């Protein structure tokens, strides 16, 4: 059995399902400044912003729930697309809340 035969059955896995199965990686600081492109990135972004909010005593709404109903067929309008759109909205909302709570820095003068 060749390498092609060994991977034949894996073509049904969508990029979203593959991302959902990947382990979560630690979030680099820049991860909160760009939209999440995969589930580990979204989880890292939620964790990083949650930690920042806790450190600044800022209350954030809960991040969106991860989809559980993906059929894996690559549908137009997949539940993962909605999740990433909601995650981006949550990210922007969280960054605004953190910025509003940050102490004002007086300009040098």
Mean pLDDT by 10 residues, the chain (109 residues): 47 58 50 79 93 92 94 91 94 92 66
pLDDT at residue 27, rounded to an integer? 45
Q: Where are the domains of the chain?
A: 18-99
Asked if residue 55 lies in contact with residue 73, where contact means CB atoms within 8 angstroms, the answer is no
Check: CB of residue 67 under 8 Å from CB of residue 82. Answer: yes
* Global pTM exceeds 0.75: no
CA distance 58 to 81: 28
d(CA 49, CA 83): 17
pLDDT of residue 3: 47
């Amino acid at each position: 059995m060749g390498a092609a035969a060994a991977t034949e059955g894996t073509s049904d896995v969508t990029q979203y399902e593959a991302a959902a199965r990947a382990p979560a990686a630690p979030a680099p600081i820049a991860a909160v400044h760009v939209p999440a492109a995969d589930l580990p990135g979204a989880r890292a972004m939620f964790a990083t912003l949650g930690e920042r909010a806790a450190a600044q005593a800022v209350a954030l709404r809960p991040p969106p729930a991860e989809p559980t109903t993906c059929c894996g067929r690559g549908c137009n309008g997949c539940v993962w697309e909605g999740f990433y759109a909601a995650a981006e909205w949550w990210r922007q909302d969280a960054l605004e809340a953190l910025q509003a709570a940050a102490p004002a820095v007086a300009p040098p003068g």
